[in-house]
Amino acid sequence: MRSGPAKKRSCAPCCRRTATRAGVLRYKVEPYVSAADVYSVAPHVGRGGWTWYTGSAGWLYQAGVESILGLRVQADSLVIDPCIPTAWPEFCMTPRYRGAVYEITVRNPRHVSCGVAAVELDGASQAVSDGKARVKLCEDRGVHAILVTLGPAPVR
C-alpha cells in the first residue's frame, strides 16, 4: 500500500502532456482546449498547435458522441450503437431534438464493448436491428425515456 496523496491521472491527452513542468514547456499551448495538431517533427516534437480551432472541436464531438457513445440521428430515427470500454457499467445522456427531450440510459451489465441486446422507449420494448437500437424520433415536445441494455443479442 502506498502512503501519501494518490497521483491523479487524466485520460485527456492534452492534460497528460502538461502533467509535468517539462511537458508544459514542450506543449506550449493551453491544456484546456482541443489542439488540432501536436507536432511530431524535430525540433517541435510534442508541441501543440492550432488551439481554439473549431475544426478540432467538431472532430472531438464526432469521436465522443457518435463513435463512443454511439448516438446518431438518421432520417426520422435516433440510432444508438455505443462502443465503450468494458469497465463502464452504464452512462446517461440527454439530447434534445425538435423540442423533444430524450433521457437515455445505456446499461452494460455484461461488461461488453458493443452490441445492443434490448431497447425500451417509454417502457415499451423496441426492436433491435443488427445490434443497434433504432428509435423513431418525436416532435411532440415531450420527455421520453430510452433504456438501452448492452450485451449479446437474444436468441430467437
Query: Does residue 26 sit in helix, strand or coil?
Result: helix
- Residue 26: burial class (beta carbons within 10 Å; 0-12, 13-18, 19+): middle
Distance CA 81, CA 129 (A): 10
- Its pTM stands at 0.70
One digit per residue, the tens of pLDDT, for the chain of length 156 reads 333 333 333 344 545 777 888 988 888 888 777 777 888 999 999 898 888 776 777 777 888 899 999 999 999 999 999 999 999 999 999 999 999 999 999 999 999 999 999 999 999 999 999 999 999 998 899 999 999 999 986 665
